[in-house]
Amino acid sequence: MAIVVNDKKRKGEKRLGVLYDEGKVRRRREWRGLKDTLYDYGRWLYLLSILARVIVKPRNVKAMFRYRWFANYLAVPHMLDKFTIGLRDEALRITHIAMDFVVKDVAQCIDNSIKGDRRTGNNVKYSDKCVLWDENAMTAVMMGFPTLNCILREVPTMFSANLLNQHSGMHYLDVAQQFGIPGDVCPMPEAELGVSIDDDFPVLGKCAVQVNTTCDGSLMGNGLIAKRLEREYGIPTFQLVAPMRHTQEDVQRYAANDVKAAIKFIEEQTGEKWDWNAYFECAKRVNNTTRNRVGWLEVNSTPYPQFVGAVFSLYNDTNYMGNCGRYPAFVDIDKKVMKLVQQGYKNKTMMAPEYRHRCIVWGVQPQYIIDMLYWMIQCWGVVPLTDMLSMVISEEIAEEDTPENREQAYYDMAWLTMNMIMRNHTHGGYKVLVDELWEYCEKMNADMVMMWEHMSCKALTGMHGQFEEQARERGINLVWVCHDLADPRVYTRQAIRDQFNQYMRTVMREEPLDPTIEVLPDEHAW
């Protein structure tokens, strides 16, 4: 690949390592030039205002002292600092606009969970309009229930908490293992189970829906969580079963019928009826999301990618999977992001002094160092064009209300569920896991693949040799980086970076763009 050099004079910090010390957060804010520094600081204050609006409510103050995970959200502004390291101009604004709505969405989830929580808010009327939904699953089935609240209670308690504080899941992992759960299963469902065992979940909802995603670890945890929901709290739970071989045609009818059963279950438990008008309005917004995501990826296929890194993944996760067309606000956000993406491409905006390599990120990424992708750009000039978790379906679903499309809708909801983030490539066989990687490499002109090696995940292990062999055949530089998703005790942040550092120095024979961030003292940081 030809090196792409940034022709614009870089304003502000040249050596980003000066921002770090041994503390929990950076020693100071990054200077980006007057205009971008003021913008960044303004958005930082805006995030604080979001947190303040949640924390000032008496029920949420009570919850902060009741639930161990709640205090992690004090680190939200620091998380955004990690995501914006070295960014200027359009790239900085894309990140802030996207993440502002991710943060608002999680804040709303926390507020809604506490509002109906029997221990804190105890709003029974509100709770009776809530359906607990598996955070590892698409919320497509809720598209036709506009009067119900879909509560993903695992998101604030474990998923997003681990993004904020690398240590947040360790207590819950220890609780689950003391209960007798093996220590070699995926830390995410294991920690979620630990939250339930530790009685640290808000208790609310008329009913709950769990899904067999994304792996056997999820199945194990869901079963025990469901027992507690049903036996102790009287919350009936439906198990939605998405076929593992989702690419096979003969499983589609089964999957569609299971969606019908889930809808019937929710109707029976809540007394609410499925609304086709609401569903098809959501379907239009889902298609809008799909078109925008495809557009962003097309720009990322050029020499001047704009919307990359963890924010791309988190925004897709929130918009596509967590909201699934149910919130109209995301349409306007998509428009703003697209405008900035097009503007950045036109202006040839770059995120680093030079781009040396174009990289596809594959595998399941670690939650406790999700800012690694920005570090790759700033330290080594390696641009993560996209990641496996963001490569979901590019086809549109039926959006016009006709008798034929009403039947098709069940298949569409099943298809969305089977092709949700992460699951669509870790299940389904050789083609989606291996072949599609090389297709994306060719389409996006990538010369490098960073393969996340999640030590407790068995999905990619069997294909290790195939990845290596086929990468050599295609002349693709393949670097393996080991981690354990939510447990930094197995691989520290620096141990993860060191694997990449060693590959770049020994195999690629390159020196870092910014040697001051090659090693960072963040073992104890949030």
Res 337: pLDDT: 97
Q: Which residue has the tokens 């029974």?
A: 124
Does 523 map to a domain?
no
The mean pLDDT value for 36-41 works out to 96
Contact call for residues 149 and 139 (beta carbons, < 8 A): no
Q: What are the pLDDT digits (tens) for 101-117?
A: 999 999 999 999 999 99
pLDDT at 459: 66
Mean pLDDT along residues 146-167: 94
C-alpha to C-alpha distances, 236 to 125, 168, 224, 423, 472, nearest whole angstrom:
17, 29, 13, 26, 52
Whether residue 377 is contained in a domain is answered as yes
Q: How far apart are CA 478 and CA 471, in angstroms?
A: 7
In a domain, 485, yes or no: yes
Reduce the DSSP state of residue 5 to 3 states and report it: strand
Q: How many domains does the chain have?
A: 1
The Cα–Cα gap between 428 and 388 comes to 14
Structure tokens at 238: 């439906």
Does a structural domain hold residue 345?
A: yes
For 26-35, 216-225, 296-305, which range has the lowest pLDDT when averaged over its residues? 216-225
Using the predicted structure, report yes or no on whether residue 428 has a pLDDT greater than 90: no
Residue 228 domain flag: yes
DSSP E strands in 422-471: the ranges are 448-454
Residue 524 lies in a domain: no
Residue with tokens 């709303």: 108
Structure tokens at 96: 């802030």
Mean pLDDT of 199-221: 87
Q: How confident is residue 430, by pLDDT bands cut at 50, 70 and 90?
A: confident
Say if 522 falls within a structural domain.
no
Is residue 314 domain-resident?
yes
HSE (side-chain half, CA atoms, 13 Å) at 52: 6
pLDDT at 217 over 80: no
C-alpha to C-alpha distance for 205 and 287, rounded to whole angstroms: 29
Render the burial of 10-38: b for 16+ CB within 10 Å, e for the rest. eeebeebbebbeeeebbeeebebeeebbe
Q: For 67-198, where are the alpha helices, taking DSSP H only?
A: 76-83, 89-116, 124-127, 154, 160-164, 170-179, 187-197
8 band by pLDDT with thresholds 50, 70 and 90: confident
Domain of residue 455, residue span: 4-517
d(CA 211, CA 218): 8
Residue among 401, 152, 397, 146 at smallest CA distance from 274: 146
| Tens-place pLDDT, residues 351-385 | 999 999 999 999 888 999 989 999 999 999 999 99
Question: Cα(159)–Cα(136) distance, rounded to whole angstroms?
Answer: 9
The DSSP output letter for 452 is E
Q: Is 207 helix (H, G, I), strand (E, B) or coil?
A: strand
